[in-house]
Amino acid sequence: MIRLCKIFSILIIVLCLFSGCVQVGSADDSPHIRNFFAMDTYMTVTAYGENGKAAVQAAEDRVYELDALLNAESRDSEIYSLNENGTATLSDDTASVLKSALYCCELTDGAFNPAMHPVMRLWGFTSGKYNVPSNESIKEALKLTKPSKISLKENKATINLKGTEIDLGGIAKGYTSSEIMQIFKYNKVKSGIVNLGGNVQTVGLKPDGSDWSVAIDNPDSDGSYLGVLKTHDKAVITSGGYERNFKKNGMTYHHIIDPTTGYPAENGLVSATVVAEDGALADALSTALFVMGEKKSENFWRNNKENFDFILYTEQRKIIASDGIKDSFKTELEMKVIS
C-alpha cells in the first residue's frame, strides 16, 4: 500500500513538472516591448524571445544616442555644430548617415536632398512657426541647398558655401531602424519589429513562422488601410504630405519640399511607400518618390529594381505597386503593377 502511494505521488509530481515545462517552453516566444518618445515621434520596439528584453533596452538607448547626434535643431548635436561652424569631425554614426544621405541624393538626382534645411526653416517646419514665405526668399534660400557644397572625407565634413545647412530628418529614422535591426541580430533576436512613428522595419519572421503584416495607412480616413503587406527582414517606410502640414488662406502646405521649386511637392501622389532591406535607403527613397511623382518614380525603380520596391497612392485614389511586391501586397483598391 505504501509503495502504491509512492508511485501515485511520483506520478503527480511528474505531471506537474511536465505541465511546468510546457509553460516555460512557450514563454520563450514572449514579446518584449518598449514604447517611448524620441526624434519627435512615438516609437514602439518589439523583440521576441529570451534575449528580447536586453535587445529592446539596448535599442532604446541607441535611439537616444542617435537622436542626440543627428537632430539639426538641438544645439548639442553634431549636425548643429557642423551647420554652425561649417566644418566638423563627425562620429562614425553621423558620418555614416551623412554618407548615406549624400549617396541617396546622388542616386535620386536630388529628389532627396539632405541640404534643404534653409528652405525648411523658411517655411517654419523646423520650429513649428509656420508661414508661407515670399517667392524671393525661397529663391534666395534655394541657392543654399546645393548638396555638392557638402564634402565628406572619412569623418571630416565640410560645408563649402556659407549658409548651406544639413538636415538629416529625412533619413535619420530609417537609419535608426536599421541600427536597431543590427542590435537585434547582435543579441540573437530572431524575430522583431520596430515602428518609429510609422517607419516600420522587421527582423526575421514572426515567432509563429509567418510573415509580418504591415498595413499602409490610408490618409483619407482614420484607422483604415490602403492595404496590407506581408513581409520579413525589410523596412517599410511611407512618406506623404498628410504627415505634417499647415493651412493658410485656404491652402494646405505640407512638409515635403520639392528641392527644385522650394514649394511643397505636388506631383500627383498622396503617399509613397518604399520597401527595402536598408532602412536609411527606404526612408530617403520614400521622400524622393513622393517628390518625383508617378512617372519618374516608375522609371527610377526600373533602374534600381534590385534595391527596393514601392507602393504609390495617387490623387486619383489608385495604387501603383512595383512587380516585386505585387503578390505580397493585398489591397481592396484598384492596383496597377509596374514591371
Partner 1 sequence: MTKRIAKTGLFVALAMIFSYIEALIPLNFGIPGVKLGIANIVVVAALYQLNIPEAAGISFLRILLMGILFGNIVSLAYSFSGGVLSFLGMVICKKLKLSVIGVSIVGGVLHNVGQLTAAAFILQSAAITYYFPVLLVSGLVTGFLIGIVSYRVNKSLDKLSQKHTDN
Partner 2 sequence: MKMNKRDFIAIAVVLVLSAAGFLFLNTKHAQGSRVVITVGGSEYGTYPLASDKVIEIKSENGSNTVAIENGSVYMKDADCPDRYCVKQGRITDSGDSVICLPHKLVVEVCASDGENTIDAVAK
Whole-angstrom distance, CA of residue 178 vs CA of residue 93: 12
Whole-angstrom distance, CA of residue 135 vs CA of residue 202: 43
Please identify, using beta-carbon distances, which residue of 21 and 68 lies nearer to partner 1: 21
Question: Least distance in Å: CB of 3 to partner 1?
Answer: 15
Q: Provide the binding-site residues for partner 1, judged by CB under 8 A.
A: 8, 12, 15-16, 19
Q: Side chain identity at 284, as an amino acid letter?
A: A
Of how many residues is the chain composed? 339
Whole-angstrom distance, CA of residue 101 vs CA of residue 107: 10
Please identify, using beta-carbon distances, which residue of 61 and 154 lies nearer to partner 2: 61
Question: Least distance in Å: CB of 5 to partner 1?
Answer: 9
The percent of the chain in helix, strand and coil, each rounded to the nearest 5, is 40, 25, 35
Question: Least distance in Å: CB of 226 to partner 2?
Answer: 10
Please identify, using beta-carbon distances, which residue of 15 and 21 lies nearer to partner 1: 15
Question: Least distance in Å: CB of 229 to partner 2?
Answer: 8
Q: Provide the binding-site residues for partner 2, judged by CB under 8 A.
A: 1, 4-5, 8, 11, 15, 18-19, 22-23, 26, 29-33, 35, 44, 46, 48, 193, 195, 198-200, 202, 206-208, 210, 212-217, 219, 225, 228-229, 236-238, 240, 243, 271, 273
Please identify, using beta-carbon distances, which residue of 164 and 271 lies nearer to partner 2: 271
* Contact present, 150 and 164 (Cβ < 8 Å): yes
Grid cell 528580447 is found at 52
Please identify, using beta-carbon distances, which residue of 47 and 102 lies nearer to partner 2: 47
Judged by beta carbon distances under 5 to 8 A according to partner kind, the member of partner 1, partner 2, none in contact with residue 16 is: partner 1
DSSP states of 146-205 as a string? -GGGEEEETTEEEE-STT-----TTTHHHHHHHHHHHHHHHTT-SSEEEEETTEEEEES-
Beta-sheet strands, E only, within the chain? 31-38, 41-48, 87-89, 150-153, 156-159, 192-196, 199-203, 212-217, 225-231, 235-240, 245-248, 251-254, 269-276, 309-314, 319-322, 329-330, 335-338
Neighbouring-strand partners of residue 245 = 254
Please identify, using beta-carbon distances, which residue of 18 and 153 lies nearer to partner 1: 18
Judged by beta carbon distances under 5 to 8 A according to partner kind, the member of partner 2, partner 1, none in contact with residue 41 is: none
